[in-house]
Structure 1
Amino acid sequence: MLYFPYDAQLTSRNPRAPALTAEVREDALEGATVAWRSELDGRRVLDLLVRMSWDEGPCAFVLARRVEPPGPSPFFLPPLKDWSLLVSIVVAAVVLALGPVVRRIRMLTEDVRASARSGYEQPVSVRGHDEIADLARAFQEARAEIQARMAQQEAREQGLRDFLANTTHDVMTPLTVLQGNLSAMQQRLSRGEPVNAAEVSSAMSEAHYMASLVHNLTAATRLEAGAPHVQRAPVDLNDVIARVLGRHQPIARQQRISLESGVPATPVRVLGDVTLIEQAISNVVGNGVRYGREEGHVAVVLESTREGRFVLRVIDDGPGISEEERARILERGVRGNVARTRAPEGQGLGLHIAHHVAQVHGWALTLNPSEYGGLEVCFSGEMLAPDKDSAPRAPHA
């Protein structure tokens, strides 16, 4: 005896299940038990389609098939009124065969629902070594994957919350100083007195610092969002350096720091996210200016190699960073908010973002003592092939 399950729409997941005629389907859907005889490979076949006691699931109907052995027919199709015993036997056999399977499926269903209600903390029980056990293991693996993704998302959100809280706190200090300087200048002007140059310089420095914090917040948010949010397009590093130096020149002049650059005549192009790259370079240059000594120097040097790589160095003659601190800063990553300070020994969030930007672009970032006593920050990575249509430019000085 062979058994083939069908769902409530008389569709079977078993590819070997016999096709049902329209007449059989109509009678079965109306609730009748349908029996018919046919031939298969020269042998007589008796089919009996029975509706089960449940209405849903892959076994709402069961087809019992018996194929006659070769020789005289050992059975005959009884009249409809005499089928009750045969139907009862078939139903009993199917229920006995499917009962344990249905119970295990229901237990698995309840386990999965309970796990979902617990936020996937409760595990799914795996019993046996058959297909149902494989399904339970698949649910268990999916649960572990969901938990890992939820933990990762929570860590990202917590990191952004911490960063936002710390950034808000950091903005308040320069904002208070800026408000004080502006108030003092307003009072001097109201008395007809000249504005103090030191107060103007301090106000510009605080405004510049707040702008850096806001830019870093944007960069950190994009980096935490993941690689799909990092745009990839050709980027001209010569142009990026020119924009970064133009941004920091006013503060450098106020602090009497010489800000210079040296780039190749042929533009150096890389594939990456221009906003993140510019922010990373701006952070490093800004650190050199912010923590540099009066009458000091900050230089940006860009070089290309014959192996198709670029080297971008930002060199200063400021106080520098100890070897222990250099290693620790690069290990912390974007979430290392403890190091966010304006003290010369801390260097702040800027290097964290620069390090993360280098990582997502496949570049290397190294920190070394400069030959002038300060710090040398070096970006290096692959560059695009030179554009044949681009003409050489005069090097910046």
Structure 2
Amino acid sequence: MKLRLRLALTVVAVTVPVVAGLTLAQRSLRLRIQEEVLQASTLAQMQAGEKERCEAAPDSWTPRRGPPPRDMPRKPGESPPPNSSEPERRGPPPSGPRPDMGPPPDLPPGKLGRPPPSFSYFPYDDRLVSRNTSAPVISEDVQQELRSGQGVVIRRSTYDGRPALEVLLRMPWEGGPCAFILARRVEGPGGHIEGVPPPEVLLVPLLSLVAVVVALGPVVRRVRQLTGEVRASAVSRYQQPVSVRGNDEVAELARAFQEARAEIQSQLSQQEAREQALRDFLANTMHDVMTPLTVLQGHLSTLEQRTGRGDATEPAVLASAMGEAHYIASLVHNLAAAARLEAGAPQVQRAPVDLNSVIARVIGRHQPIARQRRISLERGVPEAPVWVNGDVTLIEQAVSNVVFNGIHHGHEDGHVAVVLESTRQGRFHLRVIDDGPGIPEEERSRLMERRFRGNAARTRGLEGQGLGLHITQHVAQVHGWTLSLLPSEYGGLEVSMEGEVTGG
């Protein structure tokens, strides 16, 4: 649904009860005014000289036309005052019924083009009996109201099929044939129909609707313009900005889109960077895996040929094949750990971890390749388990990387030791010590700064420890531990991890 149509329907829905309320209020006010005017005009006429005329001929009395006389009322037969323009009336008032008179002086005339309402007056004595044969009979309930002390009774009815207002007034004098006066006001033909709002009230929703349609023109144009700019920006992958004009709600919407556009551009840039890093990562991985795999295939082919000829197996070839297989396994584990760390915190599953058991598994995994390289792999752990809270897979891979580096870069007949200590301050201290060539201080600082995406850290030379060490550093950061690289007292490298222990 279009905005203009929606708002127009809203205006109509709001104005309908408003019009109904205004109609009821205007109708109630108009009826109240009619009652007060009819009551006041009747009482004023009777006090202005109509009393004597009514009592003189109660069977045919009808008030005079026009405004009441300025002078005081005269008794029947009394001559008019000097300079009076009123002709002297002689004899009794004319007998017989007189036509209905026009509206009282205080009553506004009928609307242009419509016949004015007609008025009729009927006198009653103290017993509410009228000598005028055309006078309506006063009902018992009205008589009860008057006897209960009410000075006026107002009734609404119909007369000749037209709305009629009847006011029965007690006059301010006692007794006589005109002690009560019934004034009847009958709407003229074609008058206002009850319950139908007058034209001026019906104009309210029409004018409101026109005002809404006119006022919404600029707003709709701005919304359409903003819609076009948003679509154009989306086509340009949110490179094209949208215009922000003014300080109203449409401008706020444009500013909100600008903020969303900036966020989308940032997300797209990060996504493109991740995709590029993934492509580089896959290219490097392919190279790192294919090289040892090719070497391993060559060793296996040599072993197959020698076995087929019945020759003895060369220990050097078998040891090299085992080394390549061990390297491929470590590389695959590192890639899995790197993927989990890159995915963020939701991929880190925390639970109680026994570091004693982790070290035992790492030693068992690397012991065969250590024996092939004639390297002594030893461990020293407390008798009681040392528990930490963390991800067991990532922790085990971090320790395995350090042990692998010590074995892979150690000398023959060398040593690699894994030492775990638990302090009284509720912390653990895990050290992996070797007596290999070690790493110069300037290279140790660079290794701690590298990211596992770096190409230089993916090589198999001495600097190739970068991938495994950085994964170890990342695991330590995720768990809130500290990692340090120090020269060992035996001439090699000492990798130290320290953190808090838990109750298990």
- Quote the residue 2:61 is aligned against: none
Partner of 1:37: 20
Question: Are residues 1:334 and 2:333 paired?
Answer: no
Q: Which of 272, 285, 306 is residue 403 of structure 2 equivalent to?
A: 285
How is 1:88-167 mapped onto 2 (pairs within 5 angstroms)? 89-167=207-285
CA distance in 1, matches of 2:8, 2:346: 43
What's the CA shift string for 1:193-233, capped at 9, x where partnerless? 11001111011001101111111111111111121111111
Indicate if the aligned counterparts of 2:456 and 2:463 stay in contact, CA closer than 8 A.
no
SS in 1 for 2:425: coil
TM-score, scaled relative to structure 1: 0.77
Specify the code of the residue in structure 1 equivalent to 2:198: P
Percent identity over paired residues: 68
**Residue number in structure 2 paired with 1:313:** 431
SS of the residue aligned with 1:37? helix
Higher mean C-alpha deviation, range 231-240 or range 129-138? 129-138
Asked whether 1:227 is paired with 2:345, we answer: yes
Contact 2:19-2:204 within 8 A present in 1 as well: no
Distance in 2 (CA, whole Å) between partners of 1:346 and 1:149 is 32
Q: Quote the offset at 1:90 in angstroms.
A: 3.4
Unaligned ranges ≥5, structure 2: 28-195
Equivalent residues, number: 334
Asked whether 1:78 is paired with 2:198, we answer yes
Could you tell me how far apart the structure 1 residues matched to 2:384 and 2:271 are?
43
- Candidates 168, 171, 174, aligned match of 2:292: 174
Does residue 217 of the first structure (1) align with residue 217 of the second (2)?
no
Kept in 2: contact 1:342–1:348 (CA 8 A)? no
1:248 and 1:286 in contact (8 A); partners too: yes
Q: CA deviation at 1:6?
A: 8.2
| Cα distance between partner residues in 1 of 2:496 and 2:275 | 31
CA-CA distance at 1:35 after TM superposition: 7.9
Work out whether 1:364 is the aligned partner of 2:364. Answer: no
Residue 87 of structure 1: CA displacement?
6.1
User: Which secondary structure does the structure 1 equivalent of 2:352 belong to?
Assistant: strand
CA-to-aligned-CA distance 1:370-390 (integer Å, 9 cap, x gap): 1111111111222212x4xxx
Instruction: Check if 1:241 corresponds to 2:240.
Output: no
Q: Which amino acid aligns with 1:136?
A: A
1:313 aligned partner, one-letter code: R
SS in 1 for 2:465: coil
User: Aligned pair 1:384/2:502, yes or no?
Assistant: yes
Q: Distance in 1 between matches of 2:332 and 2:369?
A: 17
CA contact (8 A) 2:450 2:466 kept: no
Matched residues in 2 for 1:182 and 1:274: separation? Answer: 34
What is the one-letter code of the residue matched to 2:393? T
Structure 1 range deviating more: 264-273 or 128-137: 128-137
1:64 alignment counterpart: none
Q: Quick check: 1:156–1:224 contact (8 Å CA) kept in 2? A: no
Partner secondary structure for residue 346 of structure 1: helix
Offset of residue 250 of structure 1 = 0.3
| Code of the aligned partner of 1:377 | V
How many Å separate the matches in 2 of 1:39 and 1:308?
81
Structure 1 residues 203, 88: closer, same or farther in 2, change over 3 A? same
Match of residue 379 from structure 2: 261
- Tell me, what secondary structure is at the counterpart of 1:300? strand
| Greater Cα offset, 178-187 or 287-296 | 178-187
* CA distance in 2: counterparts of 1:44 and 1:206, whole angstroms: 100
Give the CA RMSD over aligned residues: 3.0
Question: CA contact under 8 A between 1:337 and 1:349: conserved in structure 2?
Answer: no
Structure 2 Cα separation of the partners of residues 305 and 131 of structure 1 = 62
Cα–Cα, structure 1 residues 115 and 43, in superposed 2: closer, same or farther, change >3 Å?
A: farther
What residue identity is the alignment partner of 1:78? Answer: P
Q: Shift of residue 348 of structure 1?
A: 3.7
Q: Choose 326-335 or 88-97, whichever is displaced more.
A: 88-97
Q: Distance in 2 between matches of 1:381 and 1:154?
A: 36
- Find the counterpart in structure 2 of residue 301 from structure 1: 419
| Higher-Rg member (1/2) | 2
CA contact (8 A) 2:12 2:205 kept: no
Question: Where in structure 1 are there 5+ consecutive unaligned residues?
Answer: 25-33, 46-75, 388-397
Mapped to 2, the partners of 1:367 and 1:113 lie a distance apart of: 54
The aligned residue for residue 59 of structure 1 is none
1:252 is matched with which residue?
370
Tell me how far apart the structure 2 counterparts of residues 205 and 384 of structure 1 sit (CA, whole Å): 37
Segments of 4+ moved more than 3 angstroms: 5-10, 17-21, 42-45, 76-80, 85-92
How many angstroms apart in 1 are the aligned matches of 2:498 and 2:12? 67
In 2, distance between residues paired with 1:120 and 1:99? 28
User: Structure 1 residues 181, 98: CA separation in 2 closer, same or farther (over 3 Å shift)?
Assistant: same
**Structure 1 residue 103: Cα displacement:** 1.9
Partners of 1:334 and 1:356 within 8 A in 2? no
- Aligned mates of 1:196, 1:102 — CA distance in 2: 86
Counterparts in 2 of 1:9 and 1:162: CA distance versus 1, 3 Å = farther
